[in-house]
Amino acid sequence: MPSSSPGPASAPSPVRSVVRSVVRSVVVVGAGLAGAQTLAALRRDGFDGHVTLVGGEGVAPYDRPPLSKELLSRSEPAWLSSELGVRVEELADVTLLDDPAARLEPSAGSVGVVLGSGRTVTADAVVLATGSTPVRPPGWGAATVLHTARDAAALRAHVSAGRRLVIVGAGWIGAEVAGVAAGAGCDVTVVETAGTPLSRQLGEVVGAHLARWYAEAGVRLVTGSQVTSVDDGGARLADGRQLPADVVLAAVGARPATAWLAGALPLDARGAVTVDRTGRLVVPADAAPSGAPLPPGADRIWAVGDCATREHPVFGLVPGGHWSAALHDPEVTVRALLAGGHEDGPATEPVAAHAPYVFSRQLGHDLTLFGTPSPTDDVVLRGDPRGGASGHEGWTALYLDPTTRSTVRRARAILVVDAPREVGAVRRLMNRDVPVDLDLTVATDLARRLRDAVV
Ligand SMILES: Cc1cc2nc3c(=O)[nH]c(=O)nc-3n(C[C@H](O)[C@H](O)[C@H](O)COP(=O)(O)OP(=O)(O)OC[C@H]3O[C@@H](n4cnc5c(N)ncnc54)[C@H](O)[C@@H]3O)c2cc1C
């Protein structure tokens, strides 16, 4: 993987077994990480039927995390053909990378994907891998966003010494770009509605520790403030203050890129396609009453990556947005798809469980998160975020299920900060397919290993 994507290296494996599936044709919609991995898994599992790949960016799949972390140091996209060895044009029979899907037409006998050009691709099964799309609030047309290689090229042109950059949102991407831009000599202000950075993702206890990093990196952080409008001169706050800027980056989140599926499939409140553990379409528990029902031919529809909310054996329903899910989940989905929807189909090797995983390099610090923290979790720290005298590298935040109350607590997530040697151990703990219960007296003792705290 690229240096910014410290996951398992995934050179293409040899074909595992030749599967003669009842499915003879597949259309994969979305040419990002999840789409590319789906294609690779199909061929690796011996699928010799017809595959069409439909994309929306006009380029081969590339990796997104370097777009922010290596905004200035990597001006060419990190192509997945070189990062993962996935050459989509060699794996697919037809690649249509610049003709986005506009409508889905499932039926009992097949599934049709109508493209923007008017062309229809028909197949036995479809895998939806359309990822997400950045949120740009109404009236913020003058703001830039960062989701594609094209966005990165546009933003890069503004990031140089002396330029004024206002970033709206102290989330993962906002923090990463702030650090890079400040390092290049930009005058950077980050505006965040919540009281701390990353509070929606990591809660306020941890967010308060991250806030210090901004000043240390020379970035101005304005919390508890809302941007109400953006124009060519900068951003205006709800209290009337004007923040002058040469460029405003809206880093206020992303939504599943599923607008084209409205009316064809039931979507959840976020607009995601809800799928079971194998990636097969199911009706979301929070589907809008007026939403679409499961269509005929629903068993032909699968979804992977950021566009999906997927059931996980330990963490329940996990919304997309995890690079690792886009990397790993297609393997399980392809096996089930080729097996005609049965988890125990022809492929026999078990697929390892993967906890939701996010990594980030921001403002001079490394964060690695496993699991699904909630702002209502109890947070217990292992190590001292202020350094302390322990001599222990970095620190770790344990997110504990608030309904468990004793010295043994269930971990919903573990965040590792600036402690690379702890990451492997935490990954092994969280990637098990059973919940992790920790004895806190051991877990908070830096002289003991975290894995010794598992009950
Ligand atoms: C700047 C940035 C930094 C990130 N950093 C991290 C990180 O550090 N750690 C982490 O875990 N995650 C990170 N992520 C998120 C991670 O990149 C995503 O989870 C991952 O890319 C999801 O892969 P995907 O294939 O599901 O979706 P995407 O990568 O979004 O790919 C989906 C593709 O589908 C295409 N598409 C959309 N609609 C259609 C349509 N109708 N028809 C055809 N094609 C369509 C899109 O154009 C896109 O090419 C980052 C994301 C960004 C943008």
pLDDT, one tens digit per residue, over 19-33 is 456 899 999 999 999
Protein residue with least CA distance to atom 26, ligand 1: 305
Distance 33 CA to ligand 1 centre (A): 7
Residue 111 CA, ligand 1 centroid: distance in Å: 24
Q: Whose CA is nearest to atom 16 of ligand 1?
A: 323
pLDDT tens digits for range 346-386:
444 556 678 999 999 999 999 999 999 998 899 999 999 98
From the CA of 306, how far away is ligand 1's center (Å)? Answer: 7
Superfamily of domain 136-250, CATH level 4? FAD/NAD(P)-binding domain (3.50.50.60)
Atom of ligand 1 nearest to the CA of 57: 47
Burial class (CB in 10 A: 0-12, 13-18, 19+), 14: exposed
> In the prediction, which pLDDT does 180 show?
98
pLDDT at position 70: 96
| CA 357 – CA 126 distance, rounded (Å) | 26
Q: Which of 83, 265, 323 to mutate to test the pocket of ligand 1 (most atoms within 8 A of CB)?
A: 323
pLDDT of residue 218: 97
Please give the number of the atom of ligand 1 that sits closest to the Cα of 36. 25
Distance 20 CA to ligand 1 centre (A): 31
Q: What superfamily in CATH does domain 25-133+254-338 come from?
A: FAD/NAD(P)-binding domain (3.50.50.60)
CA of 443 to the centre of ligand 1 (A): 35
DSSP state string for 116-182: TTS-EEEESEEEE---EEE---TT-TT-B--SSHHHHHHHHTT-STT-EEEEE--SHHHHHHHHHHH
- pLDDT score for 387: 77
Between CA 144 and CA 136 the distance in angstroms is 8
> Domain 357-453 is of which CATH architecture?
2-Layer Sandwich (3.30)
Nearest atom in ligand 1 to 115's CA: 42
Under a CB-based contact definition with an 8 Å cutoff, are residues 257 and 307 in contact?
yes
What pLDDT was estimated at residue 10?
44
What pLDDT is stored for residue 25 in this prediction?
A: 97
Nearest-angstrom CA–CA distance, 361 and 375: 22
The model carries a pTM of: 0.92
Counting from 1 in the atom list of ligand 1, the atom nearest the Cα of 102 is 41
Which tokens go with 149? 């290689």
pLDDT at 392: 65
CA distance 33 to 136: 23
Atom of ligand 1 nearest to the CA of 324: 11
Q: For the chain, which residues make up each domain, given as ranges?
A: 25-133+254-338, 136-250, 357-453
How far apart, in Å, do the first and last CA atoms of the chain sit?
33
Q: Whose CA is nearest to atom 17 of ligand 1?
A: 64
Same fold, 25-133+254-338 and 357-453: no
- pLDDT recorded at residue 390: 56
Cα(162) to centroid(ligand 1), Å: 31
Least Cα distance to 211 among 385, 393, 422 occurs for: 385
Residues with a CB atom less than 6 Å from ligand 1: 29-35, 54-57, 64-65, 67-68, 100-101, 129-132, 146-147, 173, 257, 260, 305-306, 321-323, 326, 358-360
Best mutation site among 84, 302, 306, 427 for ligand 1 pocket (most ligand atoms within 8 Å of CB) = 306
Nearest atom of ligand 1 to the alpha carbon of 360: 8
Residue 54 Cα: closest atom of ligand 1: 43
Ligand 1: which residue has its CA nearest to atom 31?
32
Residues of the chain with pLDDT under 70: 1-21, 341-352, 388-392
CA distances 10 to 70, 87, 331, Å, are 21, 13, 12
Among 53, 64, 306, 361, which residue has the most ligand 1 atoms within 8 Å of its CB, making it the best to mutate?
64
Instruction: Note the pLDDT of residue 389.
Output: 52
Closest CA to 45 of 75, 77, 21: 21
